[in-house]
Amino acid sequence: MLAALKRIPRKTRFALFYGAFYLGFGAYLPYMPVWFEGRGLSPEMIGLATGAAMAGRVIAAPLGAAFADRASRRRDAVSAFVLAAILLFLAHIPATNPWLIVALAGLAGGALTGVIPVIDSFAVREASRRRFAFGPPRAFGSATFIIGNIACGALIGWIGNEAALYWTLSGVGLAVLASLMLPEGRRLPPARQTEVDAEDQGLVQALKANGLPLAFVISALVQGAHGFYYGFSAVAWRAEGIPSFAVGCLWATGVAAEIIFLWQSDRWFKSVSPQIMMLMGAIASVLRWGFLALSPSLALLFPLQILHAFTFGATYLGFLKFAAANAPERYGATTQALNSALSGGLVLAAATSASGFAYATVGTAGFAIMTLPAGIAVICAMLLSRRQKITP
């Protein structure tokens, strides 16, 4: 069995994990609120359950990553997260009490989303060491996300709201199996105690070095600037008369552009530095949200959606590569987890809340408010690029 696994290319093993995980995540992200509704939760309780899942990510990701950075085998941390997730989702099956469901939602959401920075850190470092492209395995995950999104939606229409939970469970179960196929990622002990002492710098000190604070800010601002898009784009576009089917196609166009970018990034952007990739993402963000605020026609919305390849893809990949090159290895997963907690948790939550007020006040023009964090990110990315050029 072990010999057979070793013959499978490492990039294929990572692709299998990403594919399994995002197959389930594609159902979890949009449809768990549908499951909450099916269990009789009020809109207020659905909001609490969804918020608890987001809060779980903010808490679980850094704590879990700290464990991952100390585990002797990186694969063990990935397996622990997805195993905890499947057990917590199984506990949803008999749950009927609204407050119990909220608690389970927070724990399960933390376990499920907490694995993302851990596997990303692991995969990026393995790709660098073993000289394979990180983009295609991650792009495979984006592709299965679309499959999960579409297929689970159809299944809910066929058998009801419970399909959301069972599809999520199936995807996480496949991720548990796929995690066992990952490379061990075993840490080699340093040869001399002096090397241990040199590596054993404090977390705060490590994260203050090499321009990492600026990289955190850029990633958080650009990813957080998706708040209006994630929260209100569908509502805004439908209010302007765009059919629901076309809205779905617009979202699919964005994800498809992301997949192509990740798949081809090593070929098209191999010589582009991580800080320039983040600058590209920030500039694209200003352009995307600025033009969307003008309520363009449907024909123009599709090319604007292609910018998702940069606002999400270039920023995401740029930060991953920058952190892998500039954060100490022992804090690799923690660095990614802090970025996830900031960009996908705190900043995105704040941006989404602000977007609610913006949409209530000015409608689709509320997209313009997202150009503010994006514009600050452009300045920070320029400073980071300049800093890297003058650093010996």
Q: Vertex 138, ends 273 and 301: CA angle to 5°?
A: 80
Same domain, 107 and 253: no
> Which of 185, 220, 253 corresponds to the end of one domain?
185
- What residues does 186 pair with on adjacent strands? 73
Same domain, 25 and 51: yes
Same domain, 101 and 143: yes
Residue-range definition of the domain harbouring residue 211: 203-390
Are residues 281 and 318 in contact, defined by beta-carbon separation less than 8 angstroms? yes
Give a yes or no: residue 253 inside a domain: yes
Same domain, 167 and 264: no
Same domain, 180 and 219: no
- What residues does 76 pair with on adjacent strands? none
What is the tally of structural domains in the chain? 2
Question: How confident is the model at residue 365, as a pLDDT?
Answer: 93
Tokens of 328: 């100490």
| Model pTM above 0.85 | no
Give a yes or no: residue 196 inside a domain: no
Q: How far apart are CA 76 and CA 297, in angstroms?
A: 49
Please name the residue that has the structure tokens 């990034």.
265
Question: How confident is the model at residue 377, as a pLDDT?
Answer: 95
CATH number for the domain that contains residue 78: 1.20.1250.20
Same domain, 124 and 252: no
Are residues 88 and 107 in contact, defined by beta-carbon separation less than 8 angstroms? yes
Tokens of 366: 């509320």
Question: How confident is the model at residue 201, as a pLDDT?
Answer: 54
Same domain, 228 and 168: no
Tokens of 147: 């499959």
Q: How far apart are CA 372 and CA 221, in angstroms?
A: 9
Tens place of pLDDT per residue across the chain (392 aa)? 455 556 788 889 999 999 999 999 988 877 888 888 889 888 778 778 877 777 777 777 777 777 776 777 888 889 999 999 999 999 999 999 999 999 999 899 889 988 888 898 888 888 878 778 888 898 899 889 888 888 888 888 888 889 989 999 999 999 999 999 999 877 655 444 344 434 445 656 656 667 788 999 999 999 989 888 877 787 788 888 888 778 778 888 888 898 899 888 877 777 888 899 999 999 999 999 999 999 999 999 999 999 999 999 999 889 988 888 887 767 767 777 787 777 766 787 788 778 878 888 888 999 999 999 999 999 999 998 887 655 54
Q: How far apart are CA 47 and CA 38, in angstroms?
A: 14
Give a yes or no: residue 65 inside a domain: yes
DSSP secondary structure string for all residues of 155-191 = HHHHH-TTHHHHHHHHHHHHHHHHHTTS---BPPPPS
Give a yes or no: residue 335 inside a domain: yes
